[in-house]
Chains A and B, each alone.
Chain A
């Protein structure tokens, strides 16, 4: 099903989706290989979140098909599917009445893991996202900084070692310094865990920083997709305006030199 012969983790085939009378996706197709980090860029309201929700079956397409691990999402048990796709969102959505450790342990608990195995996994993940176990596992979300909360959010999404990670503007609410730091962390983590990651963002710089592949969403279809270098060279009229700020920033740096 994938032209290149690589294992396809997620595939969209001519997907249409409307909210009420408003068309969001009009024939969206993409093939995402296992282990790839796809960064999808688009303006607000372009349907980026919709794409993530179609993958974990929070939504079903009006027409066309979405495949996860070669199975139509409509034939997946929604709860099983969602437990195989970690979800990170901008608001993080940590549960305020649970500790950091309890928040991370949610999906393992849903899957019925033993307490010991869960506890070990929580420690492992805290270490992975760069938070010491002693200081953090029993804290409440309101005792964490924005960056720490987002790290816990990533740890929670990875808890049950899902093959897929869905990230909805995950670092959009962070200040630039923290964001740069966490970008670095993310690349380090991704090198270790090798998940199939679909990350949506309105920030082209973030897409280039994190994606092994970058896709641009425009008017409900995929305008371009490819490796970052290829996308940066794109002459597509729908892609250039998104690239403009990056080129300007580079130009400013060049002039001041």
Chain B
């Protein structure tokens, strides 16, 4: 699909994402201005009080944004999925440049002018308002410009916590391995940054030129502010509407999860009168688990082995029934219901290129271990860390690679293997790309991997309040086979079809 076609067919969604993106950046920058300028003034006038605040803003700036979302998600007030936590994080990032340039702007005001103002009988407050701030304004606007441009970039990460914006397309494109979709989000995001940069550069220049009528620059600032405020108010009003009787469905950030999220969401929409809100594409197991526990989402699809090891930190076990029963009990204790398995299992698939497998006659992991020393491996971040991931696998099969495995995003792994950048990856057994790229999945002949039965995890209070949801979801158990899942994944990943549409086709066929 060409970029134009994509934008044309997704016009409404595109506008929504644009609105969300502008709102995220606008709201956070505004708050950062309101908070940052006074802090900057304080730092310039009372260094002893201001310095620690500037130091703190510095430290905040060094925290990677995704990590920051992780820290803040479980917190009360600012935490939780959606725009609120995203705006909070963006404010923190926007503060430093604004505080810095405010302080620098005030310090650069000619001492002679301050002395002249003082000698004329201006009070410190009048001096600040009539002399120092107006003269520091170009510098402050430069800081706002930097903050806003950084904000546009950082806001793309906000899609990982369900705040929307152009990051939605970028993450979706990454998980679909579809560069068109990535570009559909990346290009407008870059253009937005350039537009804001250009507009504020003009304002800044207008302010520096004292001879020109200053009113025009100030008017531009006023109009810009007004637009942002109005937009923010509208979006917030919209978002705040009817929080009751909405069922929120989440998913992790890879194709299969998004398709499953759609299947769950569409099933509820079809069988109940309830409104469904989609919080798909959330940044990983940890965030989904936090979200369902805190009530930010009502349900998502989890895998039994993942729950056993990554969520409940239990030792790896291989008996599927025992694992399922154990985690169902643990979930129940946390106020969550694990519904019956959907029917397929998505274990980790150790993949190599098909031609390599044929040439060397490799079928199992034990056979492959002999060749590993001359190979490079690429694993997802979770797989590298998880107890049921690489560390145990290496012990079980005595795996050693040419160099330590490369950590890469799940969405990039298949292409990296196909392109020959790595020789062995850990993918999903249900990935449609396995067939599309002609990869060979090595058999886990020592039965290292635990069972990964897919099943819906839902908040028990939600199911009690809406028994019809429980009934609707019960209809899904045992209905999705491995073949179904691979076909749907392939439809999205290889044929670039829309996940929602793939889910709809599947449900229609099963009915």
Contact surface of A with B, Cβ cutoff 8 Å: 56, 58, 78-83, 87, 89, 91-97, 106-107, 110, 140, 142-143, 156, 166
Contact = CB atoms under 8 A, between A and B. Distances in A.
Given A89-B116, A107-B121, 16 more contacts: A56-B119, A58-B118, A81-B121, A82-B118, A82-B121, A83-B121, A89-B115, A93-B116, A95-B130, A96-B113, A96-B210, A97-B210, A97-B214, A106-B122, A140-B211, A142-B210
A197 to B, nearest CB: 15
A10 B120 CA distance: 18
A58 B119 contact: yes
Nearest to A82: B121
Q: Which of A110, A143, A156 has the most CB of B within 10 A?
A: A110
B464 interface: no
Contact of B121 (A92, A96, A110): A110
17 contacts: A58-B119, A79-B123, A81-B121, A87-B119, A91-B112, A91-B116, A93-B113, A95-B135, A96-B210, A97-B214, A106-B117, A106-B120, A107-B121, A110-B121, A140-B211, A143-B211, A166-B119
A143 B119 CA distance: 24
A97 B134 contact: yes
| CB-CB nearest 6 A-B residue pairs | A93-B116, A82-B121, A83-B121, A87-B119, A91-B112, A79-B121
Contacts of B112: 89, 91, 93
A95 to B, nearest CB: 6
Contacts of A142: 210-211
Chain B interface: which size bin? 20 to 34
A82 B120 contact: yes
Contacts of A91: 112, 116
Interface in B126-150: 126, 130-131, 134-135
A89 B120 CA distance: 11
A107 B120 contact: yes
Nearest to A83: B121
Contacts of B123: 79
A26 B422 CA distance: 84
A143 to B, nearest CB: 6
A95 B121 CA distance: 15
Contacts of B122: 79, 106, 110
Nearest to B126: A110
A87 B211 contact: no
B204 to A, nearest CB: 14
Nearest to A141: B210
Q: Which of A87, A89, A95 has the most CB of B within 10 A?
A: A95
Given A110-B126, A140-B210, A143-B211, A95 B113 contact: yes
Contacts of A80: 121
A186 B437 CA distance: 92
A140 B134 CA distance: 15
B125 to A, nearest CB: 11
A79 B123 CA distance: 7
A163 to B, nearest CB: 14
B135 to A, nearest CB: 6
